[in-house]
Structure 1
Amino acid sequence: MKRKSIYIIRHGETDFNRRGVVQGSGVDSSLNEWGEAQAAAFFNSYQHVPFDKIYTSDLKRTHQTVRGFIKLGIPHESYSGLNEISWGAREGREPNTGDNNYYRELVTAWRNGQTELAAEEGESPVEVRARQIPVIETILSRPHERNILIAMHGRAMRVLLTTLFKQPLVNMDDYEHSNLCLYKVNYSYDLQKFELEVSNDITHLLSLEIPQTL
């Protein structure tokens, strides 16, 4: 049976994550010191996996998260289709009550089935799914890549997982995530079906000392 193992990770922490600032696809932030430590811990735990290809979004926080693997010479491709959802006009702003209420109402609307509803000047989950599908098709068209690593973003990851498992987008929030968490998914070419093996795993981070500023 021909199979593909897909390791999907969220990027490491940024200062925006630390401060609770929504980044989306419009804020191209870098990992902070803790995020770099998370990336190093993941690399140390998974450098033994014979990855055939690394896929990332176009945003540098995902590139930085898998830098250790790229330095090993593993081929790397980046796709805007894997970018985080665009949260629109409110991206990059310091947390405030008005914005927090706006995001809460937006996510509630998505949970209630209004997944075509876009953030102001941003994207809807339906639009994110549409741009992810060509990337998924590209990945599946390469059966010789038996083990791949995908570095992406929280909301985009939730959309991707519902797509792989042919679920409605209202199920997005069933897939919890944290910085540098791992989902491992296996694809059977014979059955044309995905199976979830590992969900929101952070055991590779347990050796890290929590920074004093947290």
Structure 2
Amino acid sequence: MEIVFIRHGQTDVNKDNRLQGALIDAELNEAGRDYAKKAADNFDENEFDVVYSSPMKRAVETAKIFTKGKKEIKLDKRLLEFDFGDWDGMKMEEIGEKYPDVVDPWGKINRQYIKYAPNGESYEAFDERCGEFLDEMYQKYPDKKVLVVAHGRLIRMMAAHYLTKGDMDLFDTMDNCALAKFSIRKGITRMDYYNRKLA
């Protein structure tokens, strides 16, 4: 199986440097829409046998742009972005000032955030739902090419599930509309690329 992930286009929540998790269903902004169209011009949707997307607006719109109306888009709730709980929508600057121990040197929230945001999703639960999705894809499409349009943190965890036993903190967030590709043969996974930009 080959599986390619695309991160959704930019939203105003991204632009404002706020946490944009499962509780924030933002649409693409104008810049995000324009850039997605430019990237999609260099993308061949016909290579893929099946297309999945997070049901969130920003992912669905990006999926429609990249598939150009030529593919059925299957929505799957397991592809929802990471749930930050009460922290969803908070500005990163505010988090960094109040809770410096949960922000890593790259400015990303680490797994320790849960001690301050108890309603948030744990890394373990996140890894479990990502793993369930990946296992199902491999069972259904062992010799096919799968396209998944989703979210920055979710794609980090997909990579982590495959390569680092769920340690998402070892991966940076891909740019908006960037791609990651993995190839799986006989249960062995290789990363072909990560954060590939098309425009």
TM interval, shorter chain, is 0.7 to 0.9
Q: CA 1:86/1:101 → structure 2, altered by over 3 Å: closer, same or farther?
A: farther
Among 107, 127, 130, the residue aligned to 1:129: 127
Q: How does 1:86-165 map to 2 (within 5 A)?
A: 86-94=83-91, 96-97=93-94, 99-101=95-97, 104-108=100-104, 119-143=117-141, 146-165=144-163
The one-letter code of the counterpart of 1:29 is: A
Among 183, 188, 191, the residue aligned to 1:193: 188
Pair 1:19-2:16 in alignment: yes
- Residue number in structure 2 paired with 1:81: 78
Q: CA 1:100/1:115 → structure 2, altered by over 3 Å: closer, same or farther?
A: closer
The one-letter code of the counterpart of 2:196 is: D
Deviation, structure 1 residue 170: 3.2
- Following the alignment from structure 1 to structure 2, what is the Cα–Cα distance between the partners of residues 5 and 25? 26
Larger Rg over CA atoms: 1
TM-score for both structures, normalised by structure 1: 0.80
Report Cα offsets for 1:100-136 as digits up to 9, x if no partner. 345653355x86x769868331111111111122211
Count, aligned residues: 196
The percentage of aligned residue pairs carrying the same residue is: 24
Pair 1:63-2:60 in alignment: yes
- Following the alignment from structure 2 to structure 1, what is the Cα–Cα distance between the partners of residues 24 and 99? 17
- Following the alignment from structure 1 to structure 2, what is the Cα–Cα distance between the partners of residues 103 and 155? 19
The one-letter code of the counterpart of 1:197 is: D
The one-letter code of the counterpart of 1:200 is: N
Q: Are the counterparts in 2 of residues 115 and 170 from structure 1 also a CA contact under 8 Å?
A: no
Report Cα offsets for 1:13-43 as digits up to 9, x if no partner. 0001011111100000000011112221232
Q: Are the counterparts in 2 of residues 115 and 169 from structure 1 also a CA contact under 8 Å?
A: no
5+ residue gaps, structure 1, are 206-214
Deviation, structure 1 residue 171: 4.9
5+ residue gaps, structure 2, are none
The one-letter code of the counterpart of 1:22 is: L
- Residue number in structure 2 paired with 1:37: 34
Q: Are the counterparts in 2 of residues 52 and 75 from structure 1 also a CA contact under 8 Å?
A: no
Q: CA 1:69/1:174 → structure 2, altered by over 3 Å: closer, same or farther?
A: closer
User: How well do the aligned residues superpose, as a CA RMSD in angstroms?
Assistant: 2.6
Q: Are the counterparts in 1 of residues 182 and 191 from structure 2 also a CA contact under 8 Å?
A: yes
Q: CA 1:94/1:26 → structure 2, altered by over 3 Å: closer, same or farther?
A: same
- Following the alignment from structure 1 to structure 2, what is the Cα–Cα distance between the partners of residues 115 and 18? 22
- Following the alignment from structure 1 to structure 2, what is the Cα–Cα distance between the partners of residues 57 and 185? 18
